[in-house]
Amino acid sequence: MKITDLNGLEIKVTDLEKAIDQADYFKDAHHIPPVDSDKQRQEYWTDIYNKLLMLKNTINNKNDENIPS
């Protein structure tokens, strides 16, 4: 599984649940007091988090299609 970050770099995802947990933590992380780069980092991790959730939903939808009704 792979996603592409805001810089156009491809990231290989080996453990989707752990990756989602990590991105969830980092998307809200900031320094006290805040520094200029905090906003940029939060935008980066929020984008990663959203892409990981979309990947999870895509996988779940494909799995649902393979289950006989």
Per-residue tens of pLDDT for the chain, all 69 residues: 999 999 999 999 999 999 999 999 999 999 999 899 999 999 999 999 999 999 999 999 988 777 665
pLDDT of residue 27: 96
The pTM for the full model equals 0.87
Give CA–CA dist 13/31, Å, rounded: 27
pLDDT of residue 67: 65
Give CA–CA dist 21/55, Å, rounded: 14
pLDDT of residue 45: 98
| Strand, helix or coil for residue 2 | strand
